[in-house]
Structure 1
Amino acid sequence: MRLPGLSDSEKRVRNDFLNGARTTFTARDPALDDIAHGASWGPDRTIRADFLKKLIEEVGERRAPLRVVGARIVGPVELEYLELGYSLSFSSCYFDEEIDLHDTRLRRLNLRGTRLAGLMGAQMHVDGSVVLHESRIDGRLRLDSAVIGGGLLVTDAMVCNPGGMALRVDRARITGDLSLWGTTIEGSTLLRDTRTDGVLSLESARLISTGEFAMDAARVQVGSDLVGDGLYAEGQIRFSGAQIAGLFRLADAKLNNPGDIALEAYQIRVGADLQLYRGFEATGQVRIPGAHVAGHVRFDEAVLRGNGEDALDARYVEVGGAIRCRKMHSTGALRFASARVGSDLDFSEALLTTGTRGADRNILFLGHLRSAELTLRFAAPPEGGIHLANAQVGVLNDDPATWPPRLAHDGFAYERIAEPGSLTGRIEWLKREIGGYRPGPYEQLASVYRRQGLEGEARRVLLAKQRARRKTLSLAARPWGFVQDAAVGYGYRPERALGWLVALLITGTIVFGLHHPIPSGPDKAAPFNPLIYSLDLLLPVINFGQGRAYVATGGYQWVAYLLTAAGWILATTIAAGVARAVNRA
């Protein structure tokens, strides 16, 4: 049935459609054909929306596509709930009002280079792809719960709905790729619970929002890679609970949400690498707590400006490979507490600054970390402290020149130090403990030196431990510590006891050789020997008979008393040192 009252342009569309041809309205002048001027196109290229709907109803079950190029469509295009056995293609067209394809079924939808006032495509079923390459949408683009057998390609396009929802594709099912490559979106983007079997591309996209978030892609499922190289965003980006079979890469991306969260990826699962690196910048906190990454996590050369307090939250992450933060520059705290890293956690040439945080606060949190290796070779000493309490690593690879001013390493366990450096410097490293003296760090370092065959260094560390402990004692208890230190180095310098013994023995021999004691009784005593007499005084458990047979007189009695007291002190400190050695064994 022929429709009455058709314009010449509508007649052309009808005839071409029935004959399986494309209808093209162009002036062959790029300036005049620009869709920015589409509102001024005249009747010769104008089509009514009512005409399109009646035409579709007229042809019924048809297989050839409806293809129009360069037309202006006036009025709301209401094609909801229709079942079309063909494709719709409106390239380089201008739609005055919204297109409604709610719960519509068709083979393919091509809106390449077209200006739309909005598109309602919720629950739409498309056998092939939906193409909006170089299109401009001044309004909402809604494809929530849509089923798309090919790809959703919103590429090099513009979607503008400032202050509201601009792009909504939540709970959609896409067999091919979901691409926003090069697209600018003003307003919020929603991809929650969407599944795409191909690549999710955000490359060179610009997401600008003044609302709660720029993009919410919570629980999105990606069958291949998620790539956002060159992404620019104003507002929060969310990927919490996302599952990505391949890699997740945001190289050279710029995320801006000052004072708040720039990237939220709580409990994300990544089948390959997570790469926020090589020019990646985030003004606002980056959060990936509880993330599971089968490959590596890379922040190489990233710039994290934080939210005023924290720059990165990576607590409880589980990484099969390494976490590499080489040449990272962060402002604010980095949190890797309770992380599990299969290989190396590497901060080589990283620069950690505090921003508004005070330098007396921790800037790197590694408590309860488990890692095969930990590399702390910063570009400069961090401005804050490092919290290492109860962390366990295989190899500690650090640089004394970039040690932080403060450390919390009570309970920190490591099997080996890659480059121990000087013992004096390493003991100073222990003294940087935030909580003051703790015995654990000294014992841990001593055990590592023993495993590396450095027994002498281990003893010196344990001696330093006792000296540090002595400073925590009361004033009344400290003198005995000084005595033990001077006599035998708390048992770790037993050679000192022999030195004291020899010095006192020589002193006694000289003194009593010049001033003989008198016999203690009428009994005949053995001839006096100043050496043996001094030994009797010095060795309380050994008696050669001289000490009882002779008695020093006058002021020399005090010399005898001194030797006797010194002997008991030496004996006691030696016994304490032996007991300590037995306990270590």
Structure 2
Amino acid sequence: MLPYILFLLIFFLSGSSPVSGQVDPDKNGSLGQLSLAEKWIVQQVSSGKVADLQQHFGQGEKFRQVRARFLVKLLTDGLEGVRIPYPGIRIMQAVVTGSFDLENAEVNHWVELLDCRFQGEVNFRDCLFKKGLTLSRDQFAQKVEMQRLRVLLSANISESIFQQPLDLWRAQIGGVLIADGLRSEDASTGANFSSMTVSQAVFFRKAVFMGPVNFSGSKIGDVGLFIGTAFAGPVDFFGAEIGSQLVIMQGQFRAAANFGNVHVGSQFIADGARFHHPSEPVNFNGLRVSHSAAFRGTAFAGPVNFVTAAIGSELQFDGARFENTSQEVNFNNLKVSQHAFFRGANFHGPVDFIGADIGGEFVAIKSRFLCPSQAVNLKEIKVGATAYFWEATCSGGIDLSGAKLLNATIGFAAENSGSIIGLTLENAVVERVLKIEHIQIGQLAARKLTVKDGAYLTGVRFQEKADLRETSFSLLNFQEVAWPDRDDSLWLEGMTYQSVSAGEGGDDWKVLLAWLDQGRYDSRNYNLLETFFKQGGHKDRADAVFIQGKRRQVQEKWWRPDNLATLFFWDLLAGYGRRPERTFWISLVIVFIGMLVFDERSFDPTFVSQWNWLRQEGKAKTVVFRFFLSLDQFLPGIDLGLAKLWQLSQISFRELVYYHFHKISGWILIPIGLAAIYSQFK
């Protein structure tokens, strides 16, 4: 037994291998004599074991050095007499010297080079690994070129450090690519994964990139995980395709980031990510996500672009922060098939949603739009369900001009009312219900607004201006609303509605009339309200509205003589034809006064002597006589036979003055009364 052990020891010290395949240096070309470490690697690999050089040779790098040319020969079956068993080539803690060149080579074995340090350049261009490749926890001092590298199974470069550029342009990985904890330290060229194809998933969790990173045009069959990854330089994913999920949660982006035209088969998740640069753009232009996209708690320090992005289900920005006060956040022509959530989001600068198309709800509950110089720009936005701006801070106001909404709710809870500088709803269309509640609005611009169902305004105060010209409502209901009290600040011209209400009480119609009086004059407004009351069976209210409308028309230029006459004779005496009873009662009063003034003693005595009942001075008869006498004097064009018997020469001066007043009143009141009655029939 002892001689056999001594024989093995001599073989080991002499560099010979006790395995069946022995290496002949003369048959390995320019490789020459193998080093002790290389011989030991051959021994371990040939036995199907892991070659851990540090475990065998200790910490010193001198004894762990391996020539790159040796590894090339080993990986490509260039060492005669060496057969690699199924476990493949597994080497740990090697220090690889020289350039590692596998360009155009084919590697038939599993290859694992763990915790190794490569001192020279690494070239895997157009190399084919028919099984897997692992370069985990390795250090690469020079550039690593892997253009068009092909790995039929999986590749692992996790926790490896690349001090110079890393290039995997058009690389093809048949399984997964694992790069968790990877460090790319080259600040100028960085890492290139453009046009790379990975059949399954890629993992870059907590990876660190000190320079630019390029994933443009890459194709990932399943999931791309970049959780907690740090990007110090610009990142480019333009045109990348991910079959299922792209996850950049908690990612740190310190330069420009381009996700333009990225296609994601299911979900894009960027919760908690932070884009630090205040001026470099973050681009999601043309992003396509088949299901949902989430940016909950994500922070953007610079400009953001989601122009023409398309989300198949939900878009979530709850708690997101857009921190730049001058750079724009652009969602123009964004398309979301279901809901868009911005609950508690903060926008410190301008934001645009022009032409966005939201299939479900647009929710901006407790969001803060803090740019004072520009309104939240929602021009021509489409919302298939309800647009909520509830308890939202909008320092520059809200612009919904040209919007098409199913429902819209704007305002605050009653106990927590708020304010906005302006609300623009010009040419907007609300298919069902518009609610504006408990809010103070500086200026309302709602010209040509259409609400096809009901518009409900509750506890709203308009401060400076309210423009409702040419608006159209099926139902308009406002309660506890304060309209602008400045001159020429409430515009209602051309407004139409089928039903209108200012509360539940019996005097709400007076509020409506006062509302019209407060606005700029337009006869159409009074005609419409009059028709509404008339159709509801409230003729008295309709008449009051008609009178007030006519009165305002005359009062616009009250100083004109014809208008002054109209105000006195047609307005005061007959209510523009709607109060004919006024002339009757006034006329009756004048006739009664005439009964007191016109004494029968002023008649011609010759005729009076023939009326025995007058001489008998019966009181009732006298009253009747005086009534008809006064009436005969009052009625123009009608002769009762009494007035012509009455002698003017027999009366006093005062009676004469009243006589003329009596006659003139009749000439005025009777035609006015007849005209008023005629207008009623008409």
Q: Scaled by the length of structure 2, what TM-score is found? A: 0.69
2:133 is aligned with 1:47: no
What is the match of residue 223 of structure 2? 151
**Structure 1 pair 393/542, CA: closer, same or farther in 2 (3 Å)?**
same
Aligned-residue offset at 1:525: 12
Pairwise mapping of residues 368-447 of structure 1 onto structure 2 (< 5 A)? 368-371=448-451, 372-377=453-458, 381=461, 384-401=464-481, 403=483, 406-417=489-500, 419-420=502-503, 422-433=508-519, 436-447=520-531
2:666 is aligned with 1:564: yes
Selected match of 1:479 from 554, 561, 564: 564
Matched residues in 2 for 1:84 and 1:547: separation? 127
Selected match of 2:589 from 479, 485, 503: 503
Matched residues in 1 for 2:87 and 2:153: separation? 14
Aligned-residue offset at 1:452: 5.7
Matched residues in 2 for 1:548 and 1:22: separation? 141
* Conserved 8 A contact 1:539-1:567: no
2:432 is aligned with 1:330: no
2:357 is aligned with 1:289: no
Matched residues in 1 for 2:203 and 2:29: separation? 31
What is the match of residue 549 of structure 2? 465
* Conserved 8 A contact 2:124-2:149: no
For the residue of structure 1 that corresponds to 2:448, the secondary structure is coil
2:140 is aligned with 1:140: no
**Structure 1 pair 256/222, CA: closer, same or farther in 2 (3 Å)?**
same
For the residue of structure 2 that corresponds to 1:420, the secondary structure is coil
2:290 is aligned with 1:223: yes
Pairwise mapping of residues 122-137 of structure 1 onto structure 2 (< 5 A)? 122-137=194-209
Aligned-residue offset at 1:78: 1.6
Pairwise mapping of residues 242-391 of structure 1 onto structure 2 (< 5 A)? 242-261=309-328, 263-277=329-343, 279-306=344-371, 308-349=372-413, 351-354=418-421, 363-371=443-451, 372-377=453-458, 381=461, 384-391=464-471
Gaps of 5+ in 1: 27-42
For the residue of structure 2 that corresponds to 1:241, the secondary structure is coil
**Structure 1 pair 428/129, CA: closer, same or farther in 2 (3 Å)?**
farther
2:192 is aligned with 1:112: no
* Conserved 8 A contact 2:315-2:340: yes
For the residue of structure 1 that corresponds to 2:385, the secondary structure is coil
Matched residues in 2 for 1:24 and 1:515: separation? 142
Selected match of 1:187 from 232, 252, 255: 255
* Conserved 8 A contact 1:239-1:266: yes
Equivalent residue pairs, number: 543
For the residue of structure 2 that corresponds to 1:354, the secondary structure is strand
Aligned-residue offset at 1:143: 1.7
* Conserved 8 A contact 2:578-2:676: no
* Conserved 8 A contact 1:299-1:328: yes
Matched residues in 2 for 1:451 and 1:303: separation? 46
Matched residues in 2 for 1:557 and 1:192: separation? 96
* Conserved 8 A contact 2:580-2:677: no
**Structure 1 pair 152/506, CA: closer, same or farther in 2 (3 Å)?**
farther
Amino acid at match of 2:202: V
**Structure 1 pair 411/141, CA: closer, same or farther in 2 (3 Å)?**
farther
Matched residues in 2 for 1:21 and 1:542: separation? 132
* Conserved 8 A contact 1:147-1:173: yes
Aligned-residue offset at 1:327: 1.4
Selected match of 1:75 from 142, 153, 158: 142
**Structure 1 pair 120/557, CA: closer, same or farther in 2 (3 Å)?**
same
Aligned-residue offset at 1:90: 1.6
**Structure 1 pair 401/157, CA: closer, same or farther in 2 (3 Å)?**
same
**Structure 1 pair 387/99, CA: closer, same or farther in 2 (3 Å)?**
farther
Deviates more, 1:550-559 or 1:68-77: 550-559
Aligned-residue offset at 1:331: 0.9
For the residue of structure 2 that corresponds to 1:178, the secondary structure is strand
* Conserved 8 A contact 2:242-2:263: yes
**Structure 1 pair 368/146, CA: closer, same or farther in 2 (3 Å)?**
farther
Matched residues in 1 for 2:592 and 2:284: separation? 85
Higher relative contact order (CA 8 A, sep 6+): 1
* Conserved 8 A contact 1:353-1:382: no
Identity of aligned residues (%): 17
Aligned-residue offset at 1:296: 1.7
**Structure 1 pair 106/259, CA: closer, same or farther in 2 (3 Å)?**
same
**Structure 1 pair 246/461, CA: closer, same or farther in 2 (3 Å)?**
farther
For the residue of structure 2 that corresponds to 1:320, the secondary structure is strand
What is the match of residue 427 of structure 2? none
Amino acid at match of 1:167: V
Selected match of 1:175 from 243, 250, 267: 243
What is the match of residue 100 of structure 2? none
Root-mean-square deviation (CA), in Å?
A: 4.0
Matched residues in 2 for 1:550 and 1:23: separation? 143
Matched residues in 2 for 1:44 and 1:223: separation? 40
* Conserved 8 A contact 1:332-1:363: no
Deviates more, 1:495-504 or 1:249-258: 495-504
Amino acid at match of 1:312: V
Gaps of 5+ in 2: 1-27, 39-63, 76-83, 95-113, 423-439, 615-623
Matched residues in 2 for 1:3 and 1:427: separation? 106
Pairwise mapping of residues 3-22 of structure 1 onto structure 2 (< 5 A)? 8=65, 19=87
Amino acid at match of 2:402: S
Deviations 1:47-86 (A, max 9, x none): 35734628x83xx34122x223322222222212333323
Amino acid at match of 2:548: A
